[in-house]
């Protein structure tokens, strides 16, 4: 059974890229969100196996959203997608409960490698 | 590693990046008026997004420039007072440069050079933060447009070497065994500090961490010699648990885990080169989807919208045809068919309305660009101008909006360039130093009215008339007959010449003829009101949609043609022989004026039907005033779907489109002013 993924990023461009990467890895992208608010709602609705979360987003940041999702579901697997130079933000996100992170620009194999590890399938 | 092929994302990149850049510009404009933290934060987000996308696409120039904008915006976040005029100008320039670069990228052309601009930005950032700019990582990617991005440090691969050295159970009263753990961050990791932090967090979830080396603060700062982290972990999870935990962390090798005493140096197992590396780059090719779902709204390709409109138009024509055919049926069969056709017509009309509403776009798409243009023009010309825009949320058909963008911009430019006087002239005239330009949009039944009004120097009707006569575009007689309102329209005649003429005589620049033509081509009208010394107002009356027009069908000779009913001002009747003449031109009286008569059949070069007695005359506008058009017969009115002409018919002066009547007969729709001018 393919693992279910929720993709969160405010840029359609990024979401598409990420979706394609997951598709190539045999995952099933079951939902998308464009900001922290939607992310929390979609998570509730979809209960994905894995969530990729952008950090800088309008309305609610990825960090806030991570915090709220973890509150709902302590086992949520959330991978932060950050840009270089956002170290402290990523660490905040890790504090808030993020499981791992990837740094943009990222390549498909790196993303999938991180995902495999985080899901314990290495 | 082979570069990734990002070509299929180009379209999306361009449209999203452009949106972000537009928003960036808008925030900047608003910021100039009032500095708020929210706006600066929003600007940061937009620059950040552009940077991220550009770097994924391998567009180094764009990524670096966006990065610099991001840095600059970031450096004034803490203290908005730092946002000086120079910084704002630099940001404007950067936004423009980024837009140009994105355009170039979409056309597959190399980005215009921005080194000077980058230097300016670097200087600003350095002076505000004291830091040199950080490098911008860019994906090694290929887009159909040749943009070989230079090789950048590859993103970290998931190397894990892990050795777990067992820990001798501590002779302590505690239940939980303690293990000495050593972990190494892969040298390819781009953010060792964060990676280390994550390791610390994960291990902390297993138990209590002691003797962390380097200390946590050093770890977070990325100061990790050789990437080595050592600690002691008090945990019930056992070596297996620790190994499992570290195995699940990317970019990290577990070097040793063992019971507290000295670590055994076990040879690190060969890094399992991730089989995923063999997966290579891009996702399987998928046909580009025509729609993307974003929340509850949908992005639709504009070609699809045009297709819908066309298809619905065809549906309406086909329905009209069926109705016509039905009329020829024997009486008993007619009612059921008519009912059915009536229902069909209602459904198609409804569908048409829905499609049209999808095409409706608020005028703000155009007017949003005006403030920026106004700012630039007034700065360049050293005029103080205040631009107000109201009603921009009112919507018009996409196609009309597309055609209106340049004309509106042109009217604005004219108002500032030629309408508003320089400050000293305004002072002399006892006007406020700041000129006012007002753009107002409102609905008026089935029209949208757009007004562009300024409080500048106004237009001189007399001078306009004289100039037109001097240029031979008008006879002195005709000029004398013109009302002031008609005289102002002379400014729209092609050939308003040199710059010296312009401000003095017409009060407007060249290009007004293009504006008028554009407005009329969408089925609208342009009116000019002006008072010398007080100001000028341009009024554009636009239909909501282009596609369906109400036509007056007339016969001229053997030809049937359509005239937009909106353009027919009046219908007169007279006996052609009995008309008075001025030289060769017959004249017909209308109200208090005498209008020149043109015979439509002659204009169309078709043999006129010889007739005597009374015939209809249509009063219509031309470039040089009202005229009366003699036709043979009025055939009635019909609501039709206008179809554009293609090559070479679109080059024929005077034809504005074609349609098919219910009878199945195709007819031309005329543009009378163009026809007369030809």
pLDDT value of residue B546: 64
CB-CB under 8 Å, A120 with B283: no
Biggest CA–CA distance in chain B, Å, is: 129
Chain A contact for B153, CB < 8 A?
no
How big is chain B by its Cα radius of gyration, in Å? 36
Annotate B104-129 with b (16+ C-beta within 10 A) or e (fewer).
bbbeeeebeebeebbebbeebbeebe
Q: Which residue of A has its CA nearest to B60?
A: A105
End-to-end CA distance of chain A: 17
Q: How far apart are CA B489 and CA B673, in angstroms?
A: 13
User: Where are any strands of DSSP class E within A1-122?
Assistant: 4-8, 28-33, 50-54, 78-83, 100-104
- In this structure, of B22-26, B420-424, B445-449, B533-537, the range with the lowest mean pLDDT score is B445-449
Angle at B440 between CA B397 and CA B34, to 5 degrees: 110
The pLDDT of residue A36 is above 50: yes
Q: How far apart are CA B240 and CA B166, in angstroms?
A: 10
Tell me which of B67, B152, B197 to substitute to probe the interface with A (most A C-beta atoms closer than 10 Å).
B197
pLDDT value of residue B285: 36
Q: Which two tokens stand for residue B309?
A: 């409109």
Q: How many Cβ atoms from other residues are within 10 Å of residue B33's Cβ?
A: 8
CB-CB under 8 Å, B52 with A23: no
Coarse DSSP helix, strand, coil percentages of chain A, rounded to the nearest 5 percent? 45, 20, 30
Written out in words, the top-level CATH class of the domain with range B176-259 is alpha beta
Confidence tier at B148 by pLDDT (50, 70, 90): very low
CB-CB under 8 Å, A14 with B56: yes
Given a contact cutoff of 8 angstroms between Cβ atoms, the answer to whether B159 and B253 are in contact is: yes
Q: How far apart are CA B231 and CA B245, in angstroms?
A: 15
Q: Which of B12, B191, B294 sits opposite A34 (nearest CB)?
A: B294
pLDDT value of residue B529: 92
CB-CB under 8 Å, B160 with A24: no
Average pLDDT of span B306-318: 82
CB-CB under 8 Å, B154 with A103: no
The pLDDT of residue B446 is above 80: no
Nearest Cα to Cα of residue B627 among B674, B561, B667: B674
Q: What percent of chain B has pLDDT over 90?
A: 15
Scan residues 451-480 of B and list those with Cβ closer than 8 Å to A: none
CB-CB under 8 Å, B191 with A90: yes
Q: Which of B16, B283, B293 sits opposite A11 (nearest CB)?
A: B16
Instruction: Report DSSP state, residue B504.
Output: I
CB-CB under 8 Å, B276 with A116: yes
Given a contact cutoff of 8 angstroms between Cβ atoms, the answer to whether B51 and B16 are in contact is: no
Strand-strand pairing, B655-660 and B666-670: antiparallel
Q: Which residue of A has its CA nearest to B202?
A: A99
Question: CA dihedral in degrees (B575, B581, B585, B590; nearest 10)?
Answer: -60
Q: Which of B4, B9, B191 sits opposite A107 (nearest CB)?
A: B4
Q: Which CATH number fits the domain B363-543, given the four candidates 3.40.50.150, 3.30.565.10, 3.30.9.100, 1.10.760.10?
A: 3.30.565.10
CB-CB under 8 Å, A114 with B292: no
The pLDDT of residue B290 is above 70: no
Annotate B202-235 with b (16+ C-beta within 10 A) or e (fewer).
bbeebbebeebebeeebbbbbebeebebbbbbbb
Q: How far apart are CA A35 and CA B42, in angstroms?
A: 14
B614-659 confidence digits (pLDDT tens): 889 999 988 778 899 999 999 988 877 777 777 788 778 888 888 8
pLDDT value of residue B629: 93
Question: CA dihedral in degrees (A99, A103, A107, A110; nearest 10)?
Answer: -40
CB-CB under 8 Å, B250 with A118: yes
Chain A contact for B414, CB < 8 A?
no
B645 phi, psi to nearest 5 deg: -90, 145
Q: Which two tokens stand for residue A101?
A: 């992170």
Strand-strand pairing, B178-185 and B228-234: antiparallel
B38-97 confidence digits (pLDDT tens): 889 889 989 998 998 898 888 889 999 999 999 999 888 888 888 888 888 899 999 999
Q: Considering only residues B350 and B664, tell me which one the structure prediction assigns the higher pLDDT.
A: B350
Name B273's Cβ contacts closer than 8 Å, sequence gap at least 6.
Answer: B157
Average pLDDT of span B354-372: 82
Residues of B in contact with A112 (CB under 8 A): 276, 279
CB-CB under 8 Å, A116 with B194: no
Name B661's Cβ contacts closer than 8 Å, sequence gap at least 6.
Answer: B320, B553, B560, B638, B640, B667
In total, the C-beta contacts within 8 angstroms joining chain A to chain B are: 154
Residues of A in contact with B55 (CB under 8 A): 83, 104-105
Average pLDDT of span B260-288: 38
Strand-strand pairing, B593-599 and B252-259: unpaired
Residues of B in contact with A94 (CB under 8 A): 194, 197-198, 201
For residue B500, count CB atoms less than 10 angstroms from its CB and return exposed for 0-12, middle for 13-18, buried for 19 or more: exposed
Written out in words, the top-level CATH class of the domain with range B7-142 is mainly alpha
Residues of B in contact with A104 (CB under 8 A): 52, 55-56, 137
Q: How far apart are CA B332 and CA B340, in angstroms?
A: 14
For residue B283, count CB atoms less than 10 angstroms from its CB and return exposed for 0-12, middle for 13-18, buried for 19 or more: middle
The pLDDT of residue B275 is above 90: no
B209-249 confidence digits (pLDDT tens): 888 888 888 888 888 888 899 998 888 888 888 888 888 89
Biggest CA–CA distance in chain A, Å, is: 37
Chain A contact for B244, CB < 8 A?
yes
Nearest Cα to Cα of residue B460 among B502, B529, B507: B507
pLDDT value of residue B496: 55
List, edge to edge, every strand of the sheet that includes B655-660. Answer: B633-641, B548-556, B559-564, B666-670, B655-660
Q: Which of A12, A23, A32 sits opposite B12 (nearest CB)?
A: A12
Query: B189 CA to chain A: closest CA distance, Å?
Result: 10
Residues of B in contact with A105 (CB under 8 A): 52, 55-56, 137-139, 141, 155
Nearest Cα to Cα of residue A52 among A122, A88, A1, A3: A3
Nearest Cα to Cα of residue A83 among B194, B23, B220: B194
Residues of B in contact with A17 (CB under 8 A): 9, 56
User: Where are any strands of DSSP class E within B33-170?
Assistant: 141-142
A68-109 confidence digits (pLDDT tens): 999 999 899 999 998 877 888 899 999 999 999 999 888 888
Name B271's Cβ contacts closer than 8 Å, sequence gap at least 6.
Answer: B159, B160, B161, B253
B617 phi, psi to nearest 5 deg: -130, 135
For residue B252, count CB atoms less than 10 angstroms from its CB and return exposed for 0-12, middle for 13-18, buried for 19 or more: buried
How big is chain A by its Cα radius of gyration, in Å? 13
Alpha helices, H only, B483-608? 484-488, 499-501, 512-521, 600-603
B438 phi, psi to nearest 5 deg: -120, 130
Query: B466 CA to chain A: closest CA distance, Å?
Result: 58
Given a contact cutoff of 8 angstroms between Cβ atoms, the answer to whether B257 and B203 are in contact is: no
Chain A contact for B56, CB < 8 A?
yes
Given a contact cutoff of 8 angstroms between Cβ atoms, the answer to whether B12 and A16 are in contact is: yes
Written as one string, the DSSP assignment of B290-306 is: SEEEETTEEEE-HHHHH
- Three-state SS letters, B421-442: CCHHHHHHCCCCCCEEEEEEEE
A30 phi, psi to nearest 5 deg: -100, -10
**Phi and psi based region of residue B557 (left: phi greater than 0; alpha: psi -120 to 50; beta: remaining):** left
pLDDT value of residue B507: 46
CB-CB under 8 Å, A17 with B9: yes
Sign of CA pseudo-dihedral A39, A42, A47, A51: negative
Q: Which of A12, A91, A108 sits opposite B281 (nearest CB)?
A: A108
ipTM: 0.89
Query: Distances from the Cα of B297 to the Cαs of A68, A91, B293, in angstroms?
Result: 26, 34, 6
Scan residues 203-222 of B and list those with Cβ closer than 8 Å to A: 220, 222
CB-CB under 8 Å, B249 with A122: no
Q: Which of A56, A108, A118 sits opposite B248 (nearest CB)?
A: A118
Coarse DSSP helix, strand, coil percentages of chain B, rounded to the nearest 5 percent? 45, 25, 30
Residues of B in contact with A34 (CB under 8 A): 294-295
Q: How many Cβ atoms from other residues are within 10 Å of residue B583's Cβ?
A: 4
Classify domain B548-677 at the CATH topology level. OB fold (Dihydrolipoamide Acetyltransferase, E2P) (2.40.50)
B95-119 confidence digits (pLDDT tens): 999 999 998 888 888 878 888 888 8
Residues of A in contact with B38 (CB under 8 A): none
Chain A contact for B301, CB < 8 A?
no
Confidence tier at B172 by pLDDT (50, 70, 90): very low
Q: Which two tokens stand for residue B442?
A: 């409102």
Sign of CA pseudo-dihedral A119, B1, B2, B3: positive
Scan residues 532-571 of B and list those with Cβ closer than 8 Å to A: none
Chain A contact for B154, CB < 8 A?
yes
Chain A contact for B250, CB < 8 A?
yes
Given a contact cutoff of 8 angstroms between Cβ atoms, the answer to whether B46 and B30 are in contact is: no
């Amino acid at each position: 059974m393919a693992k279910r993924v929720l993709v969160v990023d405010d840029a359609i461009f990024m979401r598409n890229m990420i979706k394609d990467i997951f598709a190539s890895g045999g995952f099933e992208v079951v939902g998308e969100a464009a900001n922290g608010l939607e992310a929390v709602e979609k998570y509730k609705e979809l209960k994905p196996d894995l969530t990729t979360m952008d950090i800088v987003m309008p309305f609610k940041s990825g960090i806030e959203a991570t915090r709220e999702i973890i509150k709902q579901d302590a086992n949520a697997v959330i991978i932060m997608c950050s840009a270089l130079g956002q170290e402290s933000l990523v660490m905040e996100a890790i504090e808030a409960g993020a499981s791992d992170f990837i740094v943009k620009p990222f390549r498909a194999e790196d993303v999938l490698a991180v995902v495999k590890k985080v899901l314990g399938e290495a | 590693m082979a570069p990734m092929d990002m070509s299929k994302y180009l379209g999306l990149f361009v449209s999203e990046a452009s949106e972000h850049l537009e928003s960036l510009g808008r925030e900047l404009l608003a910021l100039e008026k009032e500095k708020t933290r929210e706006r600066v934060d929003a600007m940061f987000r937009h620059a950040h997004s552009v940077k991220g996308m550009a770097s994924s696409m391998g567009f180094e120039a764009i990524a670096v420039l966006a990065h610099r904008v991001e840095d600059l915006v970031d450096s004034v976040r803490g203290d908005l007072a730092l946002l000086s005029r120079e910084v704002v100008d630099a940001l404007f320039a950067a936004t423009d440069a980024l837009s140009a670069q994105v355009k170039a990228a979409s056309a597959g052309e190399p980005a215009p050079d921005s080194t000077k601009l980058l230097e300016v930005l670097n200087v600003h950032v350095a002076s505000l933060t004291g830091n040199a700019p950080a490098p911008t990582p860019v994906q090694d990617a290929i887009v159909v447009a040749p943009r070989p991005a230079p090789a950048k440090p590859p993103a970290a691969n998931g190397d894990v070497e892990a050795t777990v050295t067992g820990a001798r159970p501590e002779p302590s009263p505690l239940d939980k065994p303690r293990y000495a753990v050593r972990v190494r961050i892969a040298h390819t990791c781009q953010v060792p500090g964060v990676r280390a932090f994550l390791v610390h967090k994960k291990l902390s979830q297993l138990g209590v961490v002691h003797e962390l080396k380097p200390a946590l603060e050093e770890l977070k700062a990325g100061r990790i010699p050789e990437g080595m982290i050592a600690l002691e972990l008090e945990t019930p999870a056992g070596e297996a648990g620790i190994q499992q935990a570290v195995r699940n962390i990317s970019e990290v090798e577990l070097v040793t885990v063992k019971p507290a005493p000295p670590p055994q140096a076990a040879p690190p197992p060969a890094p399992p080169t991730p089989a995923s590396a063999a997966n290579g780059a891009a996702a399987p090719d998928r046909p580009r989807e025509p729609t993307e779902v974003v929340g509850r709204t949908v992005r639709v390709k504009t070609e699809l919208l045009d297709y819908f409109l066309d298809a619905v138009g065809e549906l309406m024509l086909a329905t009209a045809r069926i109705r016509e055919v039905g009329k020829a049926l024997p009486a008993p069969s007619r009612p059921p068919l008519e009912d059915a056709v009536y229902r069909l017509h209602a459904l198609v009309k409804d569908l048409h309305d829905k499609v049209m509403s999808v095409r409706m776009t608020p005028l703000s798409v155009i007017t949003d660009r005006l403030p920026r243009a106004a700012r630039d023009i007034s700065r360049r010309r050293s005029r103080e101008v205040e631009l107000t825009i109201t009603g921009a949320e009112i919507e018009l058909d996409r196609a009309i909006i597309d055609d209106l963008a340049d004309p509106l911009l042109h009217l604005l430019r004219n108002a500032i360039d030629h309408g508003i006087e320089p400050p000293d002239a305004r002072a002399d005239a006892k006007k406020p130093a700041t000129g006012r330009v007002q753009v107002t949009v409102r609905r008026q039944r089935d029209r949208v009215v757009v007004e562009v009004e300024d409080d500048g120097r106004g237009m001189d009707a007399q001078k306009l008339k004289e100039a037109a006569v001097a240029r031979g575009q008008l006879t002195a007689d005709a000029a004398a007959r013109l009302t002031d309102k008609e005289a102002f329209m002379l400014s729209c005649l092609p050939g308003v010449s040199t710059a010296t003429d312009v401000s003095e005589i017409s009060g407007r620049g060249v290009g007004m003829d293009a504006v008028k033509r554009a407005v009329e081509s969408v089925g609208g009208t342009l009116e000019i009101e002006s008072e010398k010394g007080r100001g000028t107002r341009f009024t554009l009356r636009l239909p909501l949609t282009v596609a369906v027009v109400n036509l007056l069908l007339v016969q001229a000779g053997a030809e049937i043609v359509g005239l937009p009913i909106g353009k027919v001002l009046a219908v007169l009747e007279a006996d052609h022989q009995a008309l008075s003449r001025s030289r060769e031109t017959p004249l017909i009286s209308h109200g208090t004026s005498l209008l020149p008569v043109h015979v439509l059949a002659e204009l169309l070069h078709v043999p006129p039907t010889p007739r005597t007695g009374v015939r209809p005359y249509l009063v219509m506008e031309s470039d040089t005033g009202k005229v009366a058009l003699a036709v043979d017969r009025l055939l009635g009115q019909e609501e039709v779907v206008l179809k554009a002409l293609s090559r070479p018919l679109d080059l024929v002066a005077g034809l504005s489109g074609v349609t098919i009547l219910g009878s199945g007969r195709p007819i031309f729709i005329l543009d009378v002013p163009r026809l007369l001018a030809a």
